[in-house]
Structure formats: C-alpha cells, structure tokens
Amino acid sequence: MLTIRSAMPEDSAALLALDTIAPHEGQRVAFIRRIVSDGSGYVALAEEEVAGYGVLEYNFFDNGFISMLYVGAVHRRQGVGQALMEHMAKQCRSAKLFTSTNLSNLPMQTLLARLGYVLSGVIHNLDEGDPEVVYFKGKV
C-alpha cells in the first residue's frame, strides 16, 4: 500500500539515504533539509518505507512548480512517481502547474504525457548538452 504525506524533519535521514545524488552534492543535502522544514516536500511510503519524494513550490512566476520528483531505484515503475505527481497536483494552490525535466529523461516525459502535461518550453545551458524541457498543466 502506498501512502503520501507531507515530509517531516524526521524524514530527512531516510530521504538522504534514498537519494543517490545527496552523498555527492552538498547542495542536494541542503535542498532536502529545506523542503522538509518549509513544508514543500511530500514523501511516498510503501509499507512504511520511504519510496520517493516530490517537491511543490511557488517560485516560478508565483505558479505551482514541481521542482523535484525522485523515486528510489527499487520502487521505480510501480506507480510511485505517478502517485506523487497526482498528489502534488491536487495540493497545488495556483491555477497553473509547471514542472521540468531533462530532454534525456524519457521515462519522466512519458509520465508527464500520461498525466496530461503539455510542452511549454525549453531552457538551454542548465545542464551541458541536455536541455531542460518545461511542461504545463492547468489546474483540474
């Protein structure tokens, strides 16, 4: 059974252990600590184990922006990412919801298409040789 709830400070250790980027990037550690303290993070629990997390912020022209979706490797392709995305869409307080992913991230692009997101634009020069693709979904 999958449960989604707001991230809490006591989730920090589990999120840091789940996220394979965190051990190599101090910025990611600071990001995770911030999202559990400011209320923008959500965790997905599979049988009480943290399976993934997402972040919904309002710093993209005052619109909702899902700035992170991360699912642990052993939980991928099991509906965790979709459940997190749907939960954050329901929580969104703005009329517009955006997110983005790298052009190379085909699984995320497939998920976004399945959830009704549409291409909104492309940003070059964030990750060398891998543009960021921005998606939009009107509030349901």
CATH number at residue 60: 3.40.630.30
* Dist CA 16 CA 11 (whole Å): 9
How much is the pLDDT for 42?
Answer: 98
Express as a percent the part of the chain with pLDDT over 70: 99
How much is the pLDDT for 104?
Answer: 96
68 pairs with which residues across the strands? 55
- Tell me what the mean pLDDT of segment 81-91 comes to: 97
* Dist CA 139 CA 35 (whole Å): 23
* Dist CA 60 CA 135 (whole Å): 12
How many CB atoms sit inside 10 A of residue 8's CB?
12
Domain range enclosing 87: 2-138
Domain count, the chain: 1
**Structural tokens at position 114:** 């399945």
How much is the pLDDT for 140?
Answer: 53
Q: pTM of the entire structure?
A: 0.93
* Structure confidence by residue, pLDDT tens digits, 6-62: 999 999 999 999 998 888 888 999 999 999 999 999 999 998 899 999 999 999 999
Residue 109 pLDDT > 90: yes
